[in-house]
């Protein structure tokens, strides 16, 4: 797949069990019919493959089958999400989009001489007011440059090692590179992002998207928690940094922000949409677990066998709460006191279960803690194996309709429509 086909707008459609590719692509097609040109990118991380006991080739096969099944003629990609040097190997043969995760390397010390040389090369920014379109609180200082380089330089160097590993295996640059730092401990400042991008240029990484850490919380499957106005200012400042860096450092045209844990962030979609239209900028937004939750809603709505399975998954998830959230502490915020007892849920009918789970903030039964727990409860479904997959296939009609409606109406329209 040529990298030119990524386009200005791209949308990550994670599919935990590789069953909903056509339903997801149908939503992209519906957006296209409304004049919204979006490139689908099927993403799944090493962590998710490990939990679900799946292999990356399954994501590739499901994406190719969806494209063939719907006769899709546009671009599409398969994303090796959140890879490191240790985990990238299993994705090399079947992915053409690689999200290199450097969050764990942030703060790892670089050689002091390398930091000093980097600061000297970019000393031209010392004493300047900063970046066009970004209001820094004071002129840039040498100490600020050194601090930013000390925090991020080694992380970018490690991203370069991973990029070159992929390039060697692929025999060239026929793939998309994204670099993610969204699971870092703190948000990147505009100056830090500028120097991160400068370091990427020096590493010759042809980065097409960067996933920053924003203020506020991006919890799995629920709305943004934080100051929406502050998020908007941060987002626009980073758009200005990216635009400046493309010209300043010779990075690829069309470099864009990637928003991770992006599903269900309904309060910030209008903010993002207005900003990218105002600045004529691109965007990549990743979703994943929101589709698995629509599978569960579909099962609960399908009658006794499916509803019973959905209740079993909740009961087991509740019993294993601590273990399930252990891998997701940065993106999960569950109050155990807000979780209904399994015995209460056993008494619910299908509509009541679906109402608690479906992300409808106007519904009095909607429970974001219930939803977050089941978001990470896909491990329970994976352990059910063929029983779960068979139930999903038996109810493909209602589940597929839910998946398409969720992605199209709740996500694509809210993000991209004027």
Structure tokens at 388: 């779960």
243-265 tens-digit pLDDT: 999 999 999 999 999 999 999 99
Angstrom distances, CA of residue 232 to CA of 74, 153, 268, 276, 284: 31, 27, 8, 11, 16
pLDDT score, position 400? 98
Using CB atoms within 10 Å of the CB of residue 33, give its burial: 0 to 12 exposed, 13 to 18 middle, 19+ buried.
Answer: exposed
**76 and 39 in contact (C-beta within 8 Å)?**
yes
Angstrom distances, CA of residue 181 to CA of 146, 196, 358: 19, 11, 29
Residue carrying structure tokens 């990524």: 6
**Per-position DSSP letters for 66-135, written without gaps between them:** HHHHHT--S--EEEEEEE-TTTGGGGTTT-SEEEEE-GGGTTPPPPHHHHHHHHHHTGGGTTS--STT--
Residue carrying structure tokens 């992380």: 155
pLDDT score, position 29? 98
Number of other residues whose CB lies within 10 A of the CB of residue 51:
17
Residue 178 DSSP code: E
Report the C-alpha gap between 27 and 20 in whole angstroms: 11
Angstrom distances, CA of residue 416 to CA of 76, 211, 343: 18, 19, 42
Contacts of 124 (CB under 8 A, 6+ apart): none
**378 and 51 in contact (C-beta within 8 Å)?**
yes
Contacts of 399 (CB under 8 A, 6+ apart): 19, 20, 23, 294, 295, 298, 299, 392
pLDDT score, position 116? 95
pLDDT digits (tens), the chain, 418 positions? 667 789 999 999 999 999 999 999 999 999 999 999 999 999 999 999 999 999 999 999 999 999 999 999 999 999 999 999 999 999 999 999 999 999 999 999 999 999 999 999 999 988 887 788 887 766 888 999 999 999 999 999 999 999 999 999 999 999 999 999 998 889 999 999 999 999 999 999 999 999 999 999 999 999 999 999 999 999 999 999 999 999 999 999 999 999 999 999 999 999 999 999 999 999 999 999 999 999 999 999 999 999 999 999 999 999 999 999 998 998 999 999 999 999 999 999 999 999 999 999 999 999 999 999 999 999 999 999 999 999 999 999 999 999 999 999 999 999 999 8
H or E element that contains 39: strand 39-45
pLDDT score, position 4? 79
Helix (H, G, I), strand (E, B) or coil at 230: helix
pLDDT score, position 35? 96
Number of other residues whose CB lies within 10 A of the CB of residue 167:
18
Q: Where are the domains of the chain?
A: 3-290, 292-408
Which CATH number does the domain 3-290 belong to among 3.20.20.70, 3.40.50.1580, 2.40.37.10, 3.40.1190.20? 3.20.20.70
Contacts of 134 (CB under 8 A, 6+ apart): 190, 237, 240, 241
**Pairing mode, strands 256-259 and 97-101:** unpaired
Q: How far is C-alpha 193 from the chain's CA centre?
A: 19
**Pairing mode, strands 283-287 and 9-13:** parallel
pLDDT score, position 201? 98
**389 and 15 in contact (C-beta within 8 Å)?**
no
Give the CA dihedral 6, 12, 17, 21, nearest 10 degrees.
-60
Number of other residues whose CB lies within 10 A of the CB of residue 134:
20
Structure tokens at 135: 């209001």
The dihedral through the CA atoms of 275, 277, 281, 283 has a sign that is positive
Report the C-alpha gap between 99 and 180 in whole angstroms: 6
**75 and 39 in contact (C-beta within 8 Å)?**
yes
């Amino acid at each position: 797949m040529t990298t030119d086909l990524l386009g200005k707008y791209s949308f990550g459609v994670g599919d935990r069990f590789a069953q909903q590719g056509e339903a997801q692509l149908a939503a992209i097609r519906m957006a296209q019919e409304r004049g919204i040109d979006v490139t689908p990118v099927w993403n799944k991380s090493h962590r998710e493959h490990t939990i679900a006991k799946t292999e990356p080739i399954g994501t590739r096969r499901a994406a190719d089958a969806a494209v063939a099944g719907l006769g899709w003629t546009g671009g599409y990609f398969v994303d090796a999400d959140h890879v490191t040097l240790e985990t990238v190997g299993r994705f090399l043969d079947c992915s053409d989009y690689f999200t290199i995760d450097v969050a764990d390397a942030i703060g790892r010390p670089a050689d002091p001489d390398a930091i000093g040389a980097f600061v000297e090369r970019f000393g031209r920014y010392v004493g300047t007011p900063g970046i066009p379109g970004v209001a820094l609180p004071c002129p840039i200082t040498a100490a600020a440059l050194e601090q930013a380089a000390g925090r991020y330089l080694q992380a970018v160097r490690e991203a370069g090692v991973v990029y070159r590993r992929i390039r060697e295996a692929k025999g060239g640059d026929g793939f998309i590179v994204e670099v993610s730092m969204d699971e870092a401990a703190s948000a990147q400042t505009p100056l830090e992002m500028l120097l991160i991008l400068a370091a990427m240029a020096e590493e010759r990484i042809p980065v097409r998207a960067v996933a920053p850490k924003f203020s506020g919380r991006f919890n799995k499957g629920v709305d943004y928690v934080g100051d929406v106005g502050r998020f908007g200012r941060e987002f626009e400042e980073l758009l200005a940094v990216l635009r400046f860096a493309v010209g300043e450092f010779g990075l690829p045209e069309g470099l864009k922000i990637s928003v991770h844990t992006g599903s269900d962030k309904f309060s910030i979609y209008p903010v993002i949409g207005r900003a990218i239209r105002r600045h004529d900028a691109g965007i990549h937004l990743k979703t994943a677990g929101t589709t698995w939750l629509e599978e569960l809603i579909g099962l609960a709505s399908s009658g006794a066998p499916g509803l019973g399975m959905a209740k079993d998954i909740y009961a087991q998830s509740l019993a294993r709460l601590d273990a399930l959230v252990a891998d997701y502490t940065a993106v999960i915020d569950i109050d155990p006191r807000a979780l209904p007892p399994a015995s209460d849920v056993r008494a619910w009918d299908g509509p009541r279960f679906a109402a608690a789970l479906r992300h409808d903030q106007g519904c009095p039964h909607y429970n974001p803690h219930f939803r977050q727990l089941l978001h990470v409860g896909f491990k329970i479904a994976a352990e059910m194996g063929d029983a779960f997959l068979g139930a999903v296939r038996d109810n493909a009609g209602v589940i597929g309709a839910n998946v398409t409606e969720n992605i199209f109406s709740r996500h694509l329209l809210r993000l991209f429509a004027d």
